[in-house]
Amino acid sequence: MNDSAPLIRIVVGSMRPVRVGDQIAAAVSEVIADATGARVEIVDLADLRLPMLDEPAMPALGNYQNAHTKAWAEIVSEADGIVFVTPQYNGGYPASLKNAIDYLFAECGTSPHSSSAMAGTGAGCPGRSCARFSNSSGSTSSPTTSRSPFPRVVRRRRSPRRCPGDRPGLR
């Protein structure tokens, strides 16, 4: 693989012992590499083991003190694009992914990103939740924007229920 090719990092958002996100990330990495010629790396939050946000200052200040935060910030900022592979937990994305995103600020707005959500029902909810968060951090793309070069992979809900954040007054 060419070292000058774009670097795409796929972040596995679940840390549960029994999960399929790592398998989906492996499959998606092959598709992205074949379709784009990009270098693709999988970043598993289960391997990073970030503690609940423990930085003494706000991430927006960029004054990271902890080694694990600096390493995570480097992982994100070095990437030319990020793909989040996340399950749905109670209508949103898991706390492990929210926590990882909360550690960073400037890094979240520098790389185009997409999300791939999977669930038996309601998989669109975490994708929309990630989009709302990333848009508030100044990110350059979202799961539904055409600027992202990666497809949004979502299994549609069977139920007509909406995500809690989709109801008026909860946004």
How many angstroms separate the CA atoms of 33 and 9, rounded? 11
CA atoms within 13 A on the CB side of 120: 3
Dist CA 66 CA 56 (whole Å)? 9
Position 75 scores a pLDDT of 94
Q: Is the pLDDT of residue 110 over 70?
A: no
Instruction: Write out pLDDT tens, residues 68-82.
Output: 999 999 999 999 888
pLDDT digits (tens, 9 = 90+) for 45-58: 999 999 999 999 99
pLDDT digits (tens, 9 = 90+) for 140-156: 444 433 233 344 443 33
**Structure-token pair, residue 105:** 């600020």
Q: What is the mean pLDDT of the chain?
A: 75
Element (H, E) at 134: helix 124-136
Q: Classify domain 7-120 by CATH number.
A: 3.40.50.360
